[in-house]
Structure 1
């Protein structure tokens, strides 16, 4: 591999892990892989994440183009989150990563 290819690969991994390396992000993507969800549904499904952190993670995923946020006018106003095509493309990668962790990392 040429040095240029290595630098390009490192830059791509850095961009990917800047998002995927944040706590709760992988779990959110996995949960949204099951279908569109509202904020409260995601909060209950993920568990111990605070509302402020959940909001930050969802904003990051929306800004990255991995999640689409849709507002339904009310009353009451409702917000739904779903994976975009780019977000859905991560699902097989996350499944492989999970399989690798099961095989190679001790459970806590």
Structure 2
């Protein structure tokens, strides 16, 4: 114990903390459908109806998620005025930059997580 005039001993601190960037990434990509939508779009731009069939998601949820991903700059919506008018959704440069990480995460899950573990 230090007496008057002596410096205090430093208190040992535990410097482990979750990286803020990683936290934000999992909060965003961990939101239901976001990561899977990006994964489906890895094969190239596609229509709303194709995304809906691929994921088995409701119209309103898909619309919400597409809007959220577009606001984040990960996907873009393109419109070909036709006729017929064709709307497609595709990944931006930023969205494509996520693909290696998502593919690695999928590989890890196949090797390390069983279906039963995911349902628990």
TM-score scaled to structure 1, two decimals? 0.83
Whole-angstrom CA distance in 2 between matches of 1:14 and 1:77: 39
- Determine which structure has more spread, i.e. the larger CA radius of gyration: 2
Whole-angstrom CA distance in 2 between matches of 1:66 and 1:24: 14
Structure 2 residues without counterparts, runs of 5 or longer: 1-14
Partner of 2:11: none
Structure 1 residues without counterparts, runs of 5 or longer: none
Partner of 1:42: 51
How many residues are treated as equivalent by the alignment? 103
Whole-angstrom CA distance in 1 between matches of 2:84 and 2:71: 25
| Cα deviation 1:58-98 (Å, max 9, x = unaligned) | 11110000001112224443211100111111111011101
Cα root mean square deviation, aligned = 2.0
Q: Which has the higher helix share?
A: 1
Higher relative contact order (CA 8 A, sep 6+): 1
TM-score scaled to structure 2, two decimals? 0.76
